[in-house]
């Protein structure tokens, strides 16, 4: 088994998963990235399979976390491998400046390819929403970055004098007409968010079709995935542990 760790801007996800990324993580845990120092307790909560743990793979979009994590994992005395743009993802990277690609996006691409053939569109709905596109002809092509719903409501709160902070932006709305300021803000964030995701997805799929690509699979991941579930025109498959699967897949590709 591998211990795979995805250090995100808001949360750090971790889990035990078999190399290759074909199977779901056996157990997972999440902790705030600001509390990365508590990762040892999070690992213990997984039920550490000490006898079968062969390595640790991680990706990070937080430079301070990237530096700190290996020191926090020294007790395992195992190889610690970081996913970067130089890794073999299973497909080529067709991107002008690969170093600027977020490591979480690379993990999503590797995980998506481990689960099936391109073309595939991955929509990771977290603090920021990322679209990552892997084509059949070119490999990893790039994608889209847009704010998640929590960023929308937080920005409104911070940049206005009277609008409150609305934190529930994951529960689907049941009306399009708000009867309070908070409800109006939540509707705007949730319904507007779904509309933005649909518009981005339509644009990506149209471009793939124009390039002669077959019909793409669409995978979702991230904490806000339930907001768009069943609300998009296209069918999607939610893979909550996709970045962890991608780390496990990339580990195998780069250890041979």
Burial class for 222, CB neighbours closer than 10 Å (0-12, 13-18, 19+): buried
How far is the CA of 3 from the CAs of 11, 19, 84, 120, 214, in angstroms?
16, 10, 17, 26, 35
Of 13, 23, 77, 104, which one is the catalytic site residue?
A: 104
Beta bridge partners of 252: none
* Torsion 38-27-130-90 (CA) sign: positive
How far is residue 12's CA from residue 189's CA, in Å, rounded to a whole number?
24
How far is residue 54's CA from residue 70's CA, in Å, rounded to a whole number?
15
| 165 in Cβ contact with 151 (< 8 Å) | no
Segments in 115-180 forming alpha helices (H): 149-159
Q: Is residue 104 flagged as an active site residue?
A: yes
| 17 in Cβ contact with 244 (< 8 Å) | yes
How far is the CA of 154 from the CAs of 72, 131, 162, in angstroms?
32, 22, 12
Active site residues: 104
């Amino acid at each position: 088994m591998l211990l795979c760790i995805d250090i995100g801007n808001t949360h750090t996800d971790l889990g035990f998963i078999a190399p290759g990324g074909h199977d779901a993580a056996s157990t997972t845990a999440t902790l705030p990235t600001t509390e990365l120092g508590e990762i040892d307790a999070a690992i213990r909560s997984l039920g550490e399979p000490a006898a079968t743990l062969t390595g640790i793979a991680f990706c990070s979009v937080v430079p301070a976390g990237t530096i700190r994590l290996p020191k926090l994992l020294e007790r395992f005395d195992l190889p610690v491998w970081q996913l970067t743009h130089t890794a073999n993802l299973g497909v080529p990277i067709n991107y002008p400046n690969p170093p600027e690609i977020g490591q979480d996006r690379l993990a999503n691409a590797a995980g998506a390819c481990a689960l099936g053939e391109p073309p595939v569109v991955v929509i990771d709905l977290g603090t920021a929403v990322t679209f990552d596109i892997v084509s059949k002809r070119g490999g990893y092509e790039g994608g889209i970055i847009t704010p998640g719903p929590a960023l929308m409501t937080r920005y409104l709160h911070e940049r206005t004098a009277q609008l409150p902070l609305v934190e529930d932006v994951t529960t689907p709305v049941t009306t399009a007409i708000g009867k309070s300021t908070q409800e109006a803000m939540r509707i705007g964030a949730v319904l507007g968010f779904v509309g933005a995701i649909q518009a981005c997805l339509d644009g990506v799929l149209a471009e793939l079709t124009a390039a002669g690509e077959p019909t793409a699979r669409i995978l979702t991941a991230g904490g806000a995935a339930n907001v768009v579930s069943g609300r998009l025109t296209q069918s999607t498959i939610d893979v909550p542990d996709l970045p962890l699967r991608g780390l496990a897949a990339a580990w195998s590709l780069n250890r041979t």
